[in-house]
Amino acid sequence: MTKKMESALVFWVFLLPVLVAFIMVMVIPFILGSYYAFTNWTSSARVDSVLRFVGFENFINSLKDPSFLYSFGITFLYTILNMIVINIVAFVLALLVTGDLKFKNVYRVGFFLPNLIGGIILGYIWQFIFNNALPSLGSIISAFDFLSDPANLMLSKPNTAIAAMIIVGTWQYAGYIMMIYVAAIENIPQELIEASRMDGATPWIRLKSITIPLCAQAFTVTMFLTLVNSFKQFDVNVSLTSGGPSTMLMGQPIFGTELLALNIYNTAFISNKLSEAQARAFIFFLILAIISIIQVNVNKKKEIEL
């Protein structure tokens, strides 16, 4: 056996296990799924059954469905707000735990902890808090009396239920994003900070002209990370609100907190419209692809600037 043949053989043998798994669960389903979005695919159908090509029918039907349009809007709202709140909270936490504190590591671990627990479990914990613990707080402390009124339950109205999801989302991710900021802040050269102290810079000026500019790289990372994670949110949505409470749009009752990922799932399993769910998933994929392309370009630009 020649050297060349041996390396070719080793190349394929080494790639084989991941390629088999990758083709089985990603490549084939992705190709099938992109195709099914343009057909009348139903749940009973298998890969080999006859499919009729229907063009953009599934996409048009989706865009006519108020529940999908609402879901779209609410997902964007949730994503933007969640991104902003998480990053602000995480940055403040990072500033605190890199400061002159006694039990820095204990605090860091505490803030990070929710991130290790699955979203589905976190959602149930907070469902209990919003539905039971907060009303009880209202009946104990008279200043918070309004909390015990059933009409004021956060999960009972769409607007406050979205706010509730942002609270849980922040609790879930802020510690993780904080760790990324902590790494960035600790990378700032100590001389720079000493020099600014000598020059008599106040903590506020130090923050504005040293810490924040030198964390710019981290900001891009965390912005996109929280953007994509919020956009894909599913677990907390299922266990905290299951999409409820219902509301009205264009004369139709719809779920008030149903994010896109849950809308896709429900279209398939509750409405039994599998090919339409596939079309929605295709749109979902396109949006994420656009975000990723923007991210790559932003990172490239940043690298050039540096």
Partner 1 sequence: MKSSKIRRPSSFLAEILTIILFVLFLFPFFLVLINSAKTSFEVTQYPLAWPKKWETIVDNIIKIWTSESVCYPSSLLSSAIITAVSLILINVFSAMAGWALVRTKTKVSSFIFFIFVASMVIPFQIVMFPLLSWFRTVTVATGIRLLRTYQGIILSYVGFGAPLSIFMFHGFIKSIPLELEEAATIDGCHRHQIFFRIIFPILKPIQATVLVLNGIWIWNDYLLPLLVLGKGNDVMTVPLAVSNFAGAFVKQWDLILTAILMAMIPVIVFFLFAQKYIVKGMVAGAIK
Binding residue count for partner 1, defined by CB under 8 A: 91
* Binds partner 1 by CB under 8 A, chosen from 78, 173, 176, 255: 176
Identity of the residue, 76 or 107, whose beta carbon is nearer to partner 1 in the bound complex: 107
- Note whether 18 binds partner 1 by CB under 8 A: yes
Contacting residues for 68 by C-beta, under 8 A, at least 6 apart? 62, 263, 267, 280
Strand partners, 53: 39
Identity of the residue, 46 or 304, whose beta carbon is nearer to partner 1 in the bound complex: 46
Q: Minimum CB separation from partner 1 for residue 64, in Å?
A: 20
* Binds partner 1 by CB under 8 A, chosen from 51, 77, 125, 201: 125
* Binds partner 1 by CB under 8 A, chosen from 33, 66, 244, 245: 33
**Which 209-238 residues touch partner 1, going by CB under 8 A?**
221-222, 225, 232, 234-235, 238
| Nearest 10 degrees: Cα torsion 118, 278, 228, 224 | 160
The amino acid at 270: I
Identity of the residue, 101 or 250, whose beta carbon is nearer to partner 1 in the bound complex: 101
Length of the chain: 306
Peptide bond preceding 150 in cis form (omega within 30 of 0): no
**Which 40-99 residues touch partner 1, going by CB under 8 A?**
45-48, 93, 96-97, 99
- Note whether 110 binds partner 1 by CB under 8 A: yes
Binding mask 276-305 for partner 1 (x = CB under 8 A): -xx--xx-xx--xx--x-------------
DSSP secondary structure string for all residues of 108-134? HHHHHGGGGS-HHHHHHHHHHIIIIIH
| Nearest-angstrom CA–CA distance, 44 and 278 | 15
The amino acid at 301: K
CB 184 within 8 A of CB 97: no
Identity of the residue, 127 or 257, whose beta carbon is nearer to partner 1 in the bound complex: 127
